[in-house]
Amino acid sequence: MSKVLIIGGGIVGLSSAYYLHKKGYEVTVLDKGDVADNCSFGNAGMIVPSHFVPLAAPGMISQGIRWMFNSKSPFYVRPGLNLNLVNWGLKFVKHATSKHVEQSAEPLRDLSLLSKKLYEDLSKESGFNFELTNKGILAFYKTEKAGEEEAHLAEKANELGLDMAVLDAAACKALQPELELDVLGAVHYRCDAHLYPGKLMQDLLRYLEQNDVKIVRNKEVDRIESDLNRITKVFTGSDVWEADEYVLATGSWSPAVAKMVNLNISLMPGKGYSFMESEPKNRVTIPALLCEARVAITPMNGSIRYGGTMELDKINTRINMQRVKGIVQSVPKYFPDLKPDLPAEDKIWYGFRPSSPDGLPYIGRSAQKKNLIVATGHGMMGLSLGPATGLLVSQIIAEQPTEIKIDAFSIR
């Protein structure tokens, strides 16, 4: 049976390993870390068919500029001479149009719905217990302006066959009776779900290792050898790895790895923070998005996970406490009796969303290196889109018809 080497053990790499293993391939996953804390672990756990509008959308640029001048705002770009950022920014601007939003809606919806269905299937398999919960997400707003935007989103969603409902404050209270609310209303993204990402990753790793998929930790790919149109060898220091097919699933590090085969992938790491606080009263039963503050709140494993911010910068280990304060202070503005403490620095998790400039993932076979499949750039939706991406990767490698059309995700 053919051998596949997957570079990167995040949700995209592990999902690809899962479906390739099911098809009978001999699979090895290489990761530069110990696969215990990449971006796929500490995220908000939201499964979001509701997110059919890509990040590159009209209005994002002016909103982004306004946020830049507030140290506690949810968005930040480090100014400076970063050529990658400049190129990425130009592409982002080019795509922030209504036409792009229109063209992206159906491909994103189809990828998301496929993934949600695959999560439902996976949750029924023995050994998988990652708390998949189908209660939707409540997107709360405090201002008329955000309310109008959300109502417009709900209308579009319903046209696309996605279940969303506009709720006034009383209807919100009926859904979250234990929580004091100070909101105008919410849109209930009923089509969405949530899960516990750390548990999902552990379940996947256990399943793969018990089924003879090799997970090789702490091996960083630092060189790739290829002939004119095929990869021949991958190096991690002095170790050499050979396979028939290679999958590039290295999240925010993908541009550096792609460069090893002279492939340009436009991607910026979008750093975000999260922290957990125990919640014995169990007041939050449905995950929440705070629309104006761009904060995500997810009940998880008897606690609440708070997450947010998007910092476009080089990959770094700095924790910007002002941004975390921004998350903490925004919560009681919507829920007056929910007052998370500012966490100590060592309790704050951060991860890098692999953000493509058009807001769509890259999924497909490379035109230059015929045995290379690229699967990255899932931005704010990588957890949601992981299983569908993995299934598509396995179908591309097996040369089977893909479950959904993938032209919109082409790396070209």
Ligand X SMILES: Cc1cc2nc3c(=O)[nH]c(=O)nc-3n(C[C@H](O)[C@H](O)[C@H](O)COP(=O)(O)OP(=O)(O)OC[C@H]3O[C@@H](n4cnc5c(N)ncnc54)[C@H](O)[C@@H]3O)c2cc1C
Could you tell me how many residues of this chain bind ligand X (CB under 6 A)? 44
384 belongs to the binding site for ligand X (CB under 6 A): yes
390 binds ligand X (CB under 6 A): no
Within 283-302, the residues that bind ligand X by CB under 6 A are 296
CB of 90 to ligand X, least distance (A): 23
Q: Give the angle 231-235-241 at the CA atoms, nearest 5°.
A: 70
Figure out which of the listed residues 9, 49, 64, 340 binds ligand X, where binding follows CB under 6 A. 9
Task: Kindly provide the b/e burial profile for residues 195-221, where b requires at least 16 CB atoms within 10 angstroms of the residue's own CB.
Answer: bbbbbbbbbbbebbeeeebebeeebeb
Binding piece for ligand X, criterion CB under 6 A, among 67-75, 160-168, 172-180, 377-385? 377-385
Tell me which residue of 89, 15, 98 sits closest to 54, measured CA to CA.
Answer: 98
User: Exactly one of 49, 64, 272, 326 binds ligand X (CB under 6 A); which one?
Assistant: 272
Residues 4, 6, 8, 64: which binds ligand X (CB under 6 A)?
Answer: 8
Q: Smallest gap, in angstroms, from Cβ of residue 144 to ligand X?
A: 27
Beta carbon of residue 352, minimum distance to ligand X (angstroms, whole number):
6
Does residue 64 belong to the site contacting ligand X (CB under 6 A)? Answer: no
Binding letters toward ligand X, positions 320-359, x by CB under 6 A: -------------------------------x-xx-----
Per-residue binder mask for ligand X (CB under 6 A), 16-55, x = binder: --------------xxxx-x--xxx--xxxx-x-------
Among 255, 359, 382, 390, binds ligand X (CB under 6 A): 382
Segment contacting ligand X (CB under 6 A): 70-78, 133-141, 250-258, 398-406? 250-258
Binding site for ligand X (CB under 6 A): 7-13, 30-33, 35, 38-40, 43-46, 48, 220-221, 249-253, 257, 272-274, 296, 307, 351, 353-354, 376, 378-384
